[in-house]
């Protein structure tokens, strides 16, 4: 099972996605999110700090555009869901 968002259905041309134990979508939020402003990464003496901010197109886009693509493959789909409020 790959990490979140690292093996989307876009990889189907180069790898058999049905061989994965599961597919893990990028985090989905209720609304469109641009993520954090740049710079999003900083190098330090001991490593790299990244703060992408979970950009995404929102739940409607995920359900209408992405989910039908994921459903073409056999592995179960794991979806990370982000919320900013309890109502989300």
- pLDDT tens-digit profile of 20-57? 999 999 999 999 999 999 999 999 999 999 998 889 99
pLDDT, one tens digit per residue, over 3-20 is 887 878 888 899 999 999
Find the angle CA(29)-CA(30)-CA(32) to the nearest 5 degrees: 75
Show the domain range for 71. 9-82
Residue 3: inside a domain: no
Q: Quick check: is 59 in a domain? A: yes
The answer to whether residue 4 sits within a structural domain is: no
How far, rounded to the nearest angstrom, does the alpha carbon of residue 53 sit from its chain's CA centroid? 12
Q: Are 88 and 30 in contact (CB under 8 A)?
A: yes
DSSP state letter for 65:
I
* Residue 65: predicted pLDDT: 97
CA 76 to chain centre: 15
Residue 87 lies in a domain: no
């Amino acid at each position: 099972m790959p990490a979140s968002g690292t093996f989307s259905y876009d990889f189907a041309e180069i790898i058999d996605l049905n061989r994965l134990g599961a597919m893990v979508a990028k985090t989905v939020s209720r609304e469109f999110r641009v993520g954090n402003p740049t710079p999003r990464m900083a190098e330090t003496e001991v490593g790299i700090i990244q703060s992408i901010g979970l950009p995404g197109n929102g739940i409607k886009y995920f359900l209408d555009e992405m989910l039908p693509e994921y459903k073409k493959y056999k592995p179960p789909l794991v979806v990370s869901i982000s919320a900013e409020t309890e109502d989300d």
